[in-house]
Structure 1
């Protein structure tokens, strides 16, 4: 680990694409992506200036359409099976990392909700979804980045600095949780 960071001043990166640090697995989502793009674009809250996948309701749609989101919660066994069956063979090494990320994030978010007396997040007025799936999605992405298998990690200085900064300055759940 590098020296301590000033968390209010992230490292400066010139045109650095952080998504290249941990190679994303190829996941066969079939028609789900198109279905969710159409769904998000049909929502009143969709802003044409932003891609559909950036919308807070996009993760809920993806999880719902893959059978992983039922009655407002993520079904871990379904997630595990979906990943095992739909990630390309060469990328299967990351499945345990993603599953562990889901478990870590869901436990952290649910414990935080419980501590605040929140049983579940209601659908946000005008959005058409609860923020819960989006919070889990953001957390899982961050947690998977932090624990990316060495076989999928790009061993570059910028990637290592970004990872060390995130480890120090972006604690679980890695995303802000809304107050209700």
Structure 2
């Protein structure tokens, strides 16, 4: 559902743009690439109903939330409306079953997305308290009593995993996509946003 592109766009609006690392430089996690993440970098199949996403986004837009809070409540809404809850708790099994059904005869995508979901849910569970504390701080300011940010973190983690491991046939090899792939293969955008250097540096992008 590509929440990642939306969150990174918010980050760019908050902090301005940074020079992207060149092909010959190591990635600096404090310097996010200077271009917004293109939603067509990886043409992954949709596994979540567009109508559900649209309805949840419209509901969030009607509230007086900042952009990150909107994504938080949208993620929670999508999970609930997509029936990924069991006994009032999020169910990894229900989500994986839904993904397998949605992808049908696309085993490579099922393996890739399924693996990303497992990796990111595990990370979300292991770092639950850390994630909540991180999102409570500026610039996010999310109160966990109003919206638990862990599902949003997991959704963005899944998007990043898919982008980094995108199959060649589905990959858009333009410079901005390659810059973001290099960055996300090493860096956690949320952990680095509070320490991103605001100075724009020169970089050879050719």
TM surpasses 0.5: yes
- CA distance, structure 1, for counterparts of residue 50 and residue 29 of structure 2: 40
- Assess, with a 3 A threshold, how the Cα gap between structure 1 residues 130 and 45 changes in structure 2: closer, same or farther: farther
TM-score (norm 2): 0.61
Structure 2 residue ranges without an equivalent (≥5): 1-22, 134-142, 192-206
1:81 equivalent in alignment to 2:97: yes
Bigger fraction of residues in helix:
2
Q: Which residue of 2 aligns with 1:152?
A: 170
Give the drift of 1:109: 1.9
Q: Which residue of 1 aligns with 2:49?
A: 29
Paired residues, what number? 161
1:4 equivalent in alignment to 2:19: no
TM-score (norm 1): 0.68
Q: Is the 8 A contact 2:60 2:73 kept in 1?
A: yes
Once the two structures are superposed, the pairs formed by residues 122-141 of structure 1 within 5 Å of their partners are: 124-125=144-145, 127=146, 129-141=147-159
What's the RMSD between the two structures over aligned residues? 3.6
Once the two structures are superposed, the pairs formed by residues 160-179 of structure 1 within 5 Å of their partners are: 160-168=178-186, 170-171=187-188, 174-176=189-191
Q: CA deviation digits over 1:29-75, x for unaligned, max 9?
A: 16423442353245x4446xx6x995311111111111113456431
Structure 1 residue ranges without an equivalent (≥5): none
Q: Is the 8 A contact 2:53 2:74 kept in 1?
A: no
- CA distance, structure 2, for counterparts of residue 37 and residue 57 of structure 1: 9
Higher relative contact order (CA 8 A, sep 6+): 2
1:108 to 123, 130, 138: 123
- CA distance, structure 2, for counterparts of residue 69 and residue 2 of structure 1: 46
Once the two structures are superposed, the pairs formed by residues 17-96 of structure 1 within 5 Å of their partners are: 17-27=37-47, 29=49, 31-42=51-62, 44-46=63-65, 54-70=70-86, 73-87=89-103, 93-96=108-111
Give the drift of 1:88: 7.3
